[in-house]
Structures are given as C-alpha cells and as structure tokens.
C-alpha cells in the first residue's frame, strides 16, 4: 500500500511540476471551433512556436486564411503552429460557429487549429488574449492581428492586420523563433 501511495505521490508531483513549467500564456483550456472538444493548451502546444491570430469571416483580411494555412503547412514539422480565434469584436464574424467552420475548412482549406469565438480586446477580453495583450503591450486593433510566441512562451512580437502571412520580415521572425533554443 505504501508503494502505491508513493507512486501516486510521485506522479502527482510530476504533473504539478509539468503544469508549473507551462508558460502563463498557455495555462488555458479552449474549446475547438464548432465542437465540444476542449483542448488543454499546455498539453497541446507547450514547446512549440505559436502564432495566435484573431480571425473574422466577413473581413477584408479574411483571405489571409490561405497564407496562414501555408505558413502552418510549411513549418508545422519544425514545431510551429497557428492558432485561430474567431472574434466578433469588430462585428465581422458569424453568430453561428458552424458557418465559421465551414468558411475556414471549405473556402480556405484551413487545417490549423481553430477555436471557439472569443472576445480579444477591452474589458471582456478572454484571459488568453488579455495575457497576449499584456505581454505585447497592445491589444488587437482589428481582425487578423497576430502574436508570435516562442517555444518558451515568450512574446516575440505582434503584427498588425496589414502584415500578410508571406511578408518577408514576418516569415524571418518565425524562422528565427523556430531556430532559438
């Protein structure tokens, strides 16, 4: 019996230590878009270089989904992930997550993880986006605002909506972040 208690105690300590090592920006549970599946951000994305993007389905920047998918496809095997968070903060998102998912998947071929619709700015900002804004020193100014976070959970930089996914400096920042130890 003592061996079992010791084993359980050691395992609980390992889990606590793992959670303690998780960067604050990833200490969130998020529901996948148009799904009941909830993702532990720490378990899923710790150790990865992450691009967080607040998206909208009815925005002039919506075609950036194609470029974001290309970035994800090009660099996912190197430890890079794009995480999309639809937001209606600028009144350009469907009220129905099914329509948002359909647009992402069928129109733009999005395979990178998309999550539930959230608020990304102001007093109602989701805690994840409040943390991103705190770390970057700025909240999203519009849809398709981007935050690049390195594999240690440190903010690399934030990028406005006009920064296209194929922008040379932006892509170089991603490559640099991926190469960091």
Sorted by where each begins, the domain ranges of the chain are 24-179
Please say if the pLDDT value at position 52 is more than 90: yes
Q: What is the C-alpha to C-alpha distance for residues 169 and 159, in angstroms, rounded to an integer?
A: 11
Note every long-range contact of 110-113, with CB atoms under 8 Å and residues 24 or more positions apart, other chains counting. 110/65, 110/68, 110/69, 110/84, 111/69, 111/72, 111/73, 112/68, 112/69, 112/72, 112/76, 112/81, 112/82, 112/83, 112/84, 113/32, 113/39, 113/44, 113/81, 113/82, 113/83, 113/84
Q: What is the dihedral of CA 163, 30, 80, 63, to 10 degrees?
A: -30
Report the pLDDT value the prediction gives residue 2, as an integer from 0 to 100: 47
Structure tokens of 135? Answer: 């770390």
Averaged pLDDT for residues 19-35: 92
Determine which one of 22, 42, 59, 104 is catalytic: 59
Please say if the pLDDT value at position 56 is more than 60: yes
- The pTM (predicted TM-score) of the whole model is 0.89
Q: What is the C-alpha to C-alpha distance for residues 84 and 112, in angstroms, rounded to an integer?
A: 8
Active-site residue flag, 59? yes
Q: What is the dihedral of CA 30, 130, 86, 58, to 10 degrees?
A: 170
Structure tokens of 164? Answer: 């296209």
Q: Which fold has domain 24-179?
A: Glutaredoxin (3.40.30)
Reported confidence tier of residue 11, pLDDT bands at 50, 70, 90 = very low
At residue 147's C-alpha, the angle toward residues 141 and 153, to 5°, is 145
* Contacting residues for 31 by C-beta, under 8 A, at least 6 apart: 37, 38, 39, 115, 116
Report the pLDDT value the prediction gives residue 4, as an integer from 0 to 100: 46
Report the pLDDT value the prediction gives residue 18, as an integer from 0 to 100: 52
Q: Can you say whether the dihedral through the CA atoms of 177, 87, 144, 108 is positive or negative?
A: positive
Least confident of 15-19, 80-84, 115-119: 15-19
Please say if the pLDDT value at position 41 is more than 80: yes
Report the pLDDT value the prediction gives residue 85, as an integer from 0 to 100: 98
The closest alpha carbon to 171, from 87, 101, 70, belongs to: 70
Percentage of the chain modeled with pLDDT above 90: 87
Report the pLDDT value the prediction gives residue 159, as an integer from 0 to 100: 98
Report the pLDDT value the prediction gives residue 181, as an integer from 0 to 100: 80
Averaged pLDDT for residues 42-71: 97
Reported confidence tier of residue 8, pLDDT bands at 50, 70, 90 = very low
**3-state secondary structure (DSSP) of residue 128:** helix
Report pLDDT digits (tens) over 90-137. 999 999 999 999 999 999 999 999 999 999 999 999 999 999 999 999
């Amino acid at each position: 019996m003592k061996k079992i208690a010791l084993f359980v105690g050691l395992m609980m300590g390992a889990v606590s230590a793992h959670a303690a090592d998780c960067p604050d920006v990833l200490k969130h549970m998020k529901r996948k878009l148009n799904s009941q599946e909830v993702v532990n951000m720490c378990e899923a994305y710790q150790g990865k270089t992450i691009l967080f993007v607040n998206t909208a389905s009815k925005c002039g920047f919506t075609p950036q989904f194609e470029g974001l998918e290309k970035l994800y496809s090009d660099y996912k095997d190197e430890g890079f992930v794009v995480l999309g968070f639809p937001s209606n903060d600028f009144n350009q998102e469907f009220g129905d997550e099914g329509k948002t998912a359909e647009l992402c998947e069928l129109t733009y071929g999005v395979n990178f993880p998309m999550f539930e619709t959230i608020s990304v700015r102001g007093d109602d900002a989701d805690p994840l986006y409040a943390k991103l804004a705190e770390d970057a020193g700025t909240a999203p100014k519009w849809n398709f605002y981007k935050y690049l976070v390195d594999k240690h959970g440190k903010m690399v930089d934030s990028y406005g909506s006009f920064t296209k996914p194929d922008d040379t400096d932006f892509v170089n920042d991603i490559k640099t972040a991926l190469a960091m130890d």
